[in-house]
Amino acid sequence: MTVSKSTLLFIPDISGFTDFVNKTEINHSRHIISELLEIIINSDKSDMSVSEIEGDAVLFFKEDVPSVPDLIEQCKHTFINFHNHLRRYDTERICKCGACETATRLTLKFIIHKGEVGKINIKDHQKLHGPEVILAHKLLKNSISENEYILITDQFKQELSSVEIQPEERISIKRGSDLYKEMGDFDYSYIPIKSFLNELTESSQISFPGLSTNKISITNTIDASVELIYENFTNLEKRMEWNEDIKEIIMKDNGLNKAASLHTCLVGSYSLDIESIGRMENKSQIIYGERLNEFKGLHDIISIYTFEKEEGQTHIQVEVDYKIKSWIGKLLNPLIRKMLIKQTKDGIIKLKKVSEKNAG
């Protein structure tokens, strides 16, 4: 145990997810939060140390306390990285579960406090303890009406009073107070930071490659909602449940299925490396694309799936385009087309069967 020293306590805290009950939503919400916590930790440019990751928050500390302007800049840097990631994820995501669709509603707030804290050394890790640590956590629960803000305790009051806010920064310092059990009234300053959203970068839009006149086109109608069919097809765990030809699907880096993500599909004796191209959506249809790098003498096999709503039914169109690697393959093109047509039709029939069963 080390002697108590005046130390910065810096807590970014994520809020906004509801309590999900669906297995997919629970797993995806955990993965999204995990990615965001990593973004927060990697955004540290103040040379702070991480004491603990506590649910949806990170407790940073530093004995050489930075200036208030530097801490505000640290918050801004983290905030922009956080929301840029969410904006990019919303464009790139494939999944339409509750967690993935509401991820952009997540918010980030910051608690900045300093005081004497004790540290317990556990191997290479330092755990903080003491009344000031407890106080910093209590401040996460307050009466501030804004969802995203920087709360700064009055330990920084003198320095904060001399901070000059430029008009172009579009932020202001406000005062707040809350009553805490065993502490009484506690005054603090806070800065609403919604205006920082104006500095986010635009994420690139998804686009699908053009298909040649050589493409294969297969259609079918399924008596189930477009949402159910899309979930059965794009949720890779569920895809294995209705397509018995698939032995295993392995996501690269254990991530979620999103644009440009890679997964390996084990089918029979084949190991197929598949890239998810992305998702496009409007009120009447969802379009999803995949690219298979190589299979049986073919390469750059692109499959575009269009799921269109039709009064309680879903019309599905699958377009498959491919390139042939060798002159022998070109000679065998009629057989190759026949094979791809059969595989595509069989896949749609399996998807139709499981989706109509689920819908019933």
For 342, half-sphere exposure in the C-beta direction (CA atoms, 13 angstrom radius) is 6
Ranges of beta strands (E only) in 162-296 are 174-180, 184-192, 216-222, 246-251, 262-267, 270-281, 285-295
Whether pLDDT at 226 is above 90: yes
3-state secondary structure of 175: strand
- Model confidence at 166, pLDDT cuts 50, 70, 90, reads low
Token match 């269109």: residue?
308
Backbone conformation region of residue 123, classed left if phi is above 0, alpha if psi is from -120 to 50, else beta: left
- Backbone region of residue 260 per phi and psi (left: phi > 0; alpha: psi in -120 to 50; beta: other values): left
Fold adopted by 216-359? Alpha-D-Glucose-1,6-Bisphosphate; Chain A, domain 4 (3.30.530)
pLDDT of 264-292, one tens digit each? 999 988 899 999 999 999 999 999 999 99
* CATH entry, 2-199, from 3.30.70.1230, 3.30.70.1290, 3.90.1200.10, 3.40.190.10: 3.30.70.1230
Q: Is residue 132 within 8 Å of 115, Cβ to Cβ? A: yes
- Long-range contacts from 194-199, C-beta under 8 angstroms, 24+ separation: 194/146, 194/147, 194/148, 195/169, 195/170, 195/171, 196/76, 196/79, 196/80, 196/83, 196/171, 197/83, 198/170, 199/80
CA distance 174 to 192: 8
More confident residue, 327 or 359: 359
* Residue 10 near residue 71, CB atoms below 8 Å: yes
- Check residues 330 and 152 and name the one with the higher pLDDT: 152
pLDDT at 20 over 60: yes
Q: Does the pLDDT of residue 21 top 90, yes or no?
A: no
**Where in the chain is CATH 3.30.70.1230?**
2-199
Q: Given this model, what pLDDT does residue 325 score?
A: 75
- pLDDT single digits (tens) 98-148: 999 999 999 999 999 999 998 888 777 788 889 999 999 999 999 999 999
The H or E element spanning position 75 is: helix 68-92
pLDDT, tens digit, 9 for 90 and up, residues 54-104: 889 999 999 999 999 999 999 999 999 999 999 999 999 999 999 999 999
CB 9 within 8 A of CB 114: yes
Q: Work out the pLDDT band at 302, boundaries 50, 70, 90.
A: very high
Report the C-alpha dihedral over residues 27, 33, 35, 36, rounded to 10 degrees: 160
Strand partners, 189: 152, 175
Model confidence band, residue 168 (pLDDT cutoffs 50, 70, 90): low
Give the rounded percent of residues in the chain with a pLDDT score beyond 70: 96
Q: Tell me: the pLDDT tens digits for 258-267?
A: 999 999 999 9
Burial class (CB in 10 A: 0-12, 13-18, 19+), 28: buried
Longest dimension (CA), the chain: 85
- Domain limits, CATH 3.30.530.20, in the chain: 216-359
CA neighbor of 80 nearest in space, from 188, 160, 198, 190: 198
pLDDT for the residue 246: 92
CA 119 to CA 112: how far, in whole Å?
Answer: 18
pLDDT at 1 over 60: no
Name every residue whose Cβ is closer than 8 Å to that of residue 306 and which is 6 or more positions away in sequence: 285, 286, 287, 316, 317, 318, 319
Question: What does DSSP say about strands 149-153 and 107-122: parallel, antiparallel, or unpaired?
Answer: parallel
User: How far, in Å, CA of 40 to CA of 60, rounded?
Assistant: 10
Question: According to the model, what pLDDT value does residue 192 have?
Answer: 96
Q: What is the pLDDT of residues 171-187, one digit of tens each?
A: 889 999 999 987 889 99
Predicted TM-score (pTM) of this structure? 0.90
